[in-house]
Amino acid sequence: DTAVSQTPKYLVTQMGNDKSIKCEQNLGHDTMYWYKQDSKKFLKIMFSYNNKELIINETVPNRFSPKSPDKAHLNLHINSLELGDSAVYFCASSQGRAGYGYTFGSGTRLTVV
Amino acid sequence: GQQLNQSPQSMFIQEGEDVSMNCTSSSIFNTWLWYKQDPGEGPVLLIALYKAGELTSNGRLTAQFGITRKDSFLNISASIPSDVGIYFCANAGGTSYGKLTFGQGTILTVHP
pLDDT of amino acid A4: 96
pLDDT of amino acid B98: 67
Whether the predicted pLDDT of A56 surpasses 90: no
pLDDT of amino acid B103: 94
| Chain-chain contact of A101 with B41 (C-beta, under 8 angstroms) | no
pLDDT of amino acid B2: 61
SS3 call for B81: helix
pLDDT of amino acid A101: 78
| Chain-chain contact of B97 with A97 (C-beta, under 8 angstroms) | yes
pLDDT of amino acid B95: 53
Q: pLDDT tens digits for B36-71? A: 999 999 999 999 998 999 999 999 999 999 999 999
Q: With a CB-CB cutoff of 8 Å, which residues 17-36 of chain B face chain A? A: 30-31, 33
Neighboring chain B residues of A99 at a CB cutoff of 8 Å: 30-31, 33, 48, 50, 91-92, 94, 98
Cβ atoms of A44 and A35 closer than 8 Å: yes
Best residue in A97, A106, A108 for a mutation probing chain B (most B CBs within 10 Å)? A97
Q: pLDDT tens digits for A2-41? A: 799 999 999 999 999 999 999 999 999 999 999 999 999 9
Q: What is the 3-state secondary structure (H, E, C) of B31-79?
A: CEEEEEECCCCCEEEEEEECCCCCEEEECCEEEEECCCCCEEEEEECCC
DSSP track, A12-60: EE-TT--EEEEEEE-S--SEEEEEEE-TT--EEEEEEEETTEEEEE-S-
Neighboring chain A residues of B86 at a CB cutoff of 8 Å: 41
Neighboring chain B residues of A95 at a CB cutoff of 8 Å: none
Q: pLDDT tens digits for B14-40? A: 999 999 999 999 888 888 999 999 999
pLDDT of amino acid B34: 96
Q: pLDDT tens digits for A59-110? A: 789 999 999 999 999 999 999 999 999 999 999 999 876 667 789 999 999 9
pLDDT of amino acid A99: 64
Cβ atoms of B74 and A73 closer than 8 Å: no
Terminal-to-terminal C-alpha distance of chain A: 34
Q: Closest Cα to residue A77, out of A1, A13, A2, A3?
A: A13
Neighboring chain A residues of B45 at a CB cutoff of 8 Å: 101-103
